[in-house]
Structures are given as structure tokens and as C-alpha cells.
Amino acid sequence: MRQIQAEEITRAVKELCIEANYRLGEDVLAAIRRARRDEESAPARAVLAELEENAAIAAQGVFPLCQDTGFAVLFLELGQEVSVVGGGLEEALQEGVRAGYREGYLRKSICDPFTRKNTGDNTPAVVHVEIVPGDRLKIRMAPKGGGSENMSRVTMLTPAEGWEGVKRFVVQRVREAGPNPCPPIVVGVGVGGTFEKAALLAKKALLRPLGSRHADPDVAAREEELYREIQATGIGAAGYGGRFTTLGVHLEVFPCHIASLPVAVNINCHAARHKEVTL
């Protein structure tokens, strides 16, 4: 067994929280620049220019990209030959989030669902763990803003509704969300599995490098189709109208029950924040 110290995990998570909230990924920046180059709507182009400037200011390390520094969502790929020593894995992760949000001057946005009392340190983080072969630990951090998360949906279609039903649901969701989730948005779609699996697939789809196409050519073609239909909504940057409503559509697929066709749409704002590290 390879040993990893709990405090090394805490330190890594802390740094991921700060890094993700101050440094917009190159994949996202490139997508915003492309959209700005090709956008024909002047108001939308002006918004895209502001987003580039905003990213440059944030990169200086004083002001995070957005005041909504998100729910801390952590995806772990834990090698089965890894043993965490010097403390529990779960607490090491939560402590990393606590330290990252404190030391990074990030907003504490987590509260009790009924009393609305703030937990004060942005914990608990949502943690997803996958056990994989090997002796490494990969941690991916994706702070998720509330405005775009609120626009996300899961539905259980019937098999008869098929791909057309999936498209209708996804595009309708984007249309109804309109200007709310800070377009140009990134759209994560999960199809198949169970109720919760579809949602998880949609969220994981958002972690893929923006602009990447699915490895399966059939799925990639469906991504293209969704991309075209979403751009046709005309919502545009900030909802002011334009050709770029989305910066990218990522679709993840999983087998489902013969009775079901679960579909989840997880919408991300233009600040599609995600950072990763492997220990």
C-alpha cells in the first residue's frame, strides 16, 4: 500500500479551491476568445470582452472571478492501493475546503436549507469518490455557482420519447433558463443510468476540457446536434441576444433500465471552473 498523508490532501484541496476561483482555465478562456471573434451581436461581444478583462483582473489574485465562489464539489479517483494516514480522508478534504475558502477570501455560500443559517466556512463540500486501480489519488475540484445550478434539471423520459425527447428537454431547459445562468453557458448532459446516475453524469460532463468532443463518434455527433440547437435559441452572452449561447456541450451516456430514459442537464455559467491534481 502507498501511504498518503492526510495533511498533504488538505493542502492540495486548499490550493485547488483558491486556484479554481482565481484562474480561469485556458480551455475556457480560449472558448470565450473564439466566441468574441465570431459573435456578430455587438452587445454580446461587449459582454465577452468584459469577461476576458474580468479573468485578467482575477488572475492577479486579489478578486476572485465571481463573488459566487461556489459549492465546493470534489471528485476523487482513489487508487485501491492508497492508504490515507495521519487522519481521515473525509475530514482532510473538508479541512482543505475550510482553509481554502478562508485563506483565499472566498465567499461562504453554504447554509441550512430551512433556517438559511450560514455554516460559516463553506463546508460541507460535496464529495464523490470512485475507487480505481493503482496507487495514486486524483482530486478534481469544481466550485459550482448557485445561479447556474438552480437552472439544472433531471427528468425521467419514456423510451418512446427517445433522442428527440432528450433534445427537446435539453434545449427547452436552456431556453427557459435564458439569461439567468450567466450565458454563454457550458451544458453538461447525462443520459442513462438511474435518477442519480444521470445527474452525476451531467456534472462529470462539465469537468471535461471545454471544447473536447466525446471519444465515441456517435455521442460526439449528438453533442454537435445539441450544440447547434442551443446556439439557435439566440440567447447570447448575458441574454442580450447573440450567436453564442453556449461555449460547449458535453454529453455522457450510461446504459439504462429497459423501462427508463433518465436525462439530466447540468448548466454551468461561462466561468466553468475546474482544477485537478494527482497525488
Partner 1 sequence: MTDKAPIRLSTPLKKEEVLALQAGDRVLLTGVVYTARDVAHRRLVELLDRGLGLPMEIEGQVIYFAGPSPARPGQVTGSIGPTTSYRMDPYSPRLLEKGLRGMIGKGSRSRQVREALQRFGAVYLGATGGAGALLARAVESAEVIAFEDLGPEAIRRLRVRDFPAVVINDAHGRDLYEEGQARYRVEQAS
What character string, x for contact with partner 1 (CB under 8 A) and - otherwise, covers 117-146?
Answer: -x-x-------------------------x
Q: How many residues bind partner 1 (CB under 8 A)?
A: 54
Site for partner 1 contains 54 (CB under 8 A):
yes
Of the two residues 35 and 238, which places its CB atom closer to partner 1 in the complex?
A: 238
* Residues 208-237 within binding reach of partner 1 (CB under 8 A): 229, 231-236
- Give min distance, CB of 84 to partner 1, in A: 31
Q: Which of 197, 107, 206 is nearest to 149 (CA)?
A: 206
Q: Give min distance, CB of 203 to partner 1, in A.
A: 19
Binding status of residue 100 toward partner 1 by CB under 8 A: no
The DSSP element (H or E) to which 140 belongs, if any, is: strand 137-141
Window 145 to 164, contacts with partner 1 (CB under 8 A)? 146-147, 150, 164
Instruction: Report which secondary-structure segment, H or E, holds 246.
Output: strand 246-256
Find out whether the peptide bond into 183 is cis, omega within 30 degrees of 0.
no
Q: Which residue from 79, 192, 239, 262 is in contact with partner 1, where contact means CB under 8 A?
A: 239
Nearest C-alpha neighbor of 31 from the set 200, 276, 266, 268: 268
- The answer to the question of residue 41 lying near partner 1 (CB under 8 A) is yes
Give the Cα-Cα-Cα angle 49, 51, 56 (nearest 5 degrees).
100
Q: Which is nearer to partner 1, 58 or 251 (CB)?
A: 58
**Preceding peptide of 217 cis, ω within 30°:** no
Torsion of CA 264, 268, 272, 275, to 10 degrees: -50
Sole binder of partner 1 in the list 181, 188, 192, 262 (CB under 8 A): 181
Q: Please state the length of the chain.
A: 279
Angle at 120 between CA 116 and CA 124, to 5 degrees: 85
Specify the DSSP element, H or E, that contains 174. Answer: helix 162-177
| β-sheet bridge partners, residue 79 | 132
Among 96, 242, 248, 262, binds partner 1 (CB under 8 A): 242
Interaction site with partner 1 (CB under 8 A): 41-43, 46-47, 50-51, 53-54, 57-58, 62-69, 105-109, 116, 118, 120, 146-147, 150, 164, 167-168, 178-182, 229, 231-236, 238-243, 269-271
